[in-house]
Structure 1
């Protein structure tokens, strides 16, 4: 067996994050597994990332790279293995089941129509696909569905930054993020997600009713509500913004989608594969794990690289092409295995309502300015992408 090769540079510097797609692809092509300067091992090929995500006993979530138990972000689910993970996950699954979300469809759809009607007045203008479209929609409607109070919702953006900016390793971007005063965000989270503050008819109240049944503690219920608030927002609005970006870059695919709107869910899944909003998932090897002719030693902290695996030419034909008819059954955009995205149904409900309304109302999109990346080490996607909308 050969020694895992050292990757020649830091993949988390500002320059590397600005060019994350190319950097992550370089990691994938360098070797089946690579070692970073801090000893973390990155695994980026589709075959190996898939098997790593499925094998939670060998790749445990209990001690991820760069994990700080004192982090200000909610710490639950991502840092558990079965059986505890299974018990806690069921609480969220029940609260976000298709049946439970059925009654929220009308709320999402009405808000989507209202929002797109507002956009119609800006036809032909350069509009930011993130801050003025997808993020704005999610931040408007998701807290309503969860039952959060109106006061303090402007902290949603700060919450996104707090969660994702503190996931990666120490360095320039991490230090820059930690220099921000998150105290107001943390105070808002603490009060807005209190049981007494939320609407008893909202999804959040279901989490607390699980605590009444003894499935989780009251403190854990509050953490789970905060986790859903993050998971239902950030990756969803980034993926929807990427969908809009893809529709502008691949107008033939958008025309095909408008002709057959039943392809919308697959178009959303393809956006998730084409430019995944999370670069990686963190794990720790609990035993020696063989990756081709390399061995990851027990005790090694690892990154399983979703985004690079979702563009692996060993698995995907023309991976850089956005194709709404692609078979995405084995895309890793939703994760895989026991830690597969527990909020998938919620995200799909949000996307079906909003993107479905856009597809029905907007005849075409065009790029109207430069893409600006989200400058966090692990979260990935556009923080700004100006587009023009043509209605009809």
Structure 2
């Protein structure tokens, strides 16, 4: 059955399996795992008949698409629309939806702005803020894991690091929600979220006069002063920095909180070995995969697992399905904070891997270290409420309780 939001009506290439699955509807969002298993079982490459697009869900196939930007490009859009066929409607990105050589200069600047050396200078401040926040939550015992921690902590520390003012930071959140909705079909989720966005406001946050001296945002403008990027590109890159360093962290923190509450034995392991905090956060990203999907556009004829891939077709990568592939991990449906997980695709991979991943990891490590020090148990204190988004797997509310150590 064809989706009313489909923009392609192409038939699949010869021999490619066809699945009648809609990965953008509420039932799928609530429980994607049976459908994801069917996708992996279908083969290395399959066709989604409801949208007329190709798809990959096995770990090796997703990694192959992520690694080959020449064949599977981002510059024609990492969402469902092909910019060459449908035009560009999102704000222009110098990182997410460009390929080399244009991609390279901007990526070099952000890699330096978010380098391990720069993050090391922020580390003490971030860890102290996390410890203070967890101490405050311990006093209250009950709190909302989204509003009071997963969202509140990054909004406290990251805009400070960028050099953004203290007012109206919460206005960053609707923009991120709309951005990730825009990568899927133009369904009700997309329409509702875009109606809440002030595009002029988000663009203005990257301007030099809005940024404090010494912050990450000003470092981007100083790179423009040195001629590494154009002065007109600097505000766009600051906007990309805000996107890369905020929403990914929020939803990854939420994934870690939810997993540690569901698997109390793993929280006991974390309390006994707080040095596992970084790996516990990383495993939560694999286990829950806050960023579930991204698209690529095929630039030239190719093959995936021996099946034909046509130039011009869209391919949907199921990152979440790849991260629970039993060919890549033992017991992939179990949250295991001691697991070796360096090859997961929760932050993407290749040249378009999430530019904010080092920052997200440091913030995740800071929060989980504080929890391991101060809490004896982390509990779900009510039924979580899911937040629906075409790309992101997250919650709008996560009732929790912390038992003091």
* Shorter-chain TM-score tier: over 0.9
Matched, 1:182 2:197: yes
* Aligned twin of 1:115: 133
1:62 aligns with 2:80: no
The match for 1:32 among 37, 44, 49 is: 44
Distance 2:187 2:92 in 1: 22
Q: Does 1:306 align with 2:319?
A: yes
The 5 Å alignment of 1:179-218 reads: 180-183=195-198, 186-218=199-231
Shift of 1:289: 2.2
1:130 is matched with which residue: 116, 123, 146?
A: 146
Aligned counterpart, 1:170: 186
Query: Which residue of structure 1 aligns with residue 265 of structure 2?
Result: 252
- Counterpart Cα distance in 2 of 1:41 and 1:276: 21
| Residue 334 (structure 2) pairs with residue 329 (structure 1) | no
Residue 49 of structure 1 deviates from its aligned partner by 0.8
Q: What residue is the counterpart of 2:402 in the other structure?
A: 389
Decide whether the 8 Å contact of 1:14 with 1:173 is kept in 2: no
Structure 2 counterparts to residues 16-165 of structure 1, below 5 A: 16-36=28-48, 37-64=50-77, 65-67=79-81, 70-73=88-91, 75-123=93-141, 125=142, 127-165=143-181
- In 1: Cα distance, 2:203 partner to 2:211 partner: 12
Matched position secondary structure for 2:297: strand
Unaligned runs of 5+ in 1: none
In the TM superposition, what is the alpha-carbon distance from 1:235 to its structure 2 partner?
1.4
Classify 1:292/1:154 alpha carbon distance in 2 versus 1 (closer, same or farther; 3 Å).
Answer: closer
The number of residue pairs the alignment matches comes to 387
Higher relative contact order at CA 8 Å, sep ≥6: structure 1 or structure 2? 1
Distance 2:264 2:373 in 1: 15
| TM-score (structure 2 length as normaliser) | 0.90
Q: TM-score, normalised by structure 1?
A: 0.93
Is residue 270 from structure 1 mapped to residue 283 from structure 2 by the alignment? yes
Paired residues for 1:279-290 under 5 Å = 279-290=292-303
Q: Aligned Cα RMSD in Å?
A: 1.8
Please tell me whether the aligned partners of residues 384 and 398 of structure 2 are also in contact (alpha carbons under 8 angstroms). yes
In the aligned structure 1, how far is the partner of 2:42 from the partner of 2:54? 13
Within 5 Å, give how 1:359-378 maps onto structure 2. Answer: 359-378=372-391
Q: Give the corresponding residue for 1:11.
A: 23
Distance 2:16 2:163 in 1: 49
- Structure 2 contact 145–398 (Cα < 8 Å) conserved: yes
Contact 1:158 1:182 in 2 (8 A): yes
1:221 aligns to 2:221 (yes or no):
no
Q: Which moved more, 1:10-19 or 1:369-378?
A: 10-19
Match of 1:281, SS? strand
Contact kept, 8 Å, 2:66 with 2:72, in 1: the verdict is: yes
CA-to-aligned-CA distance 1:322-364 (integer Å, 9 cap, x gap): 0111111211112111112222221122122222112211111
How many Å separate the matches in 2 of 1:170 and 1:191? 26
Task: Please give the residue correspondences for 1:223-238 in structure 2 after superposition, counting only pairs within 5 Å.
Answer: 223-238=236-251
Whether contact under 8 Å (1:288, 1:298) holds in the other structure is yes
Deviation per residue, 1:203-252 (Å, 9 max, x gap): 11101111111121223211111111112111112111111111111111
1:248–1:367 CA contact under 8 A, matched in 2: yes
Structure 2 equivalent of residue 340 of structure 1: 353
Unaligned runs of 5+ in 2: 1-12
- Measure, in 1, the Cα distance between the counterparts of 2:203 and 2:39: 39
Alpha-carbon offset, residue 76 of structure 1: 2.4
Compute the displacement of 1:73 (Å).
4.6
Matched, 1:292 2:308: no
Q: Return the offset for 1:101.
A: 1.6
How much has 1:70 moved relative to structure 2? Answer: 4.4
Please give the per-residue CA displacement for 1:124-175, whole angstroms capped at 9, x wherever unaligned: x2x2211221111111221111100122223122222222222211223223
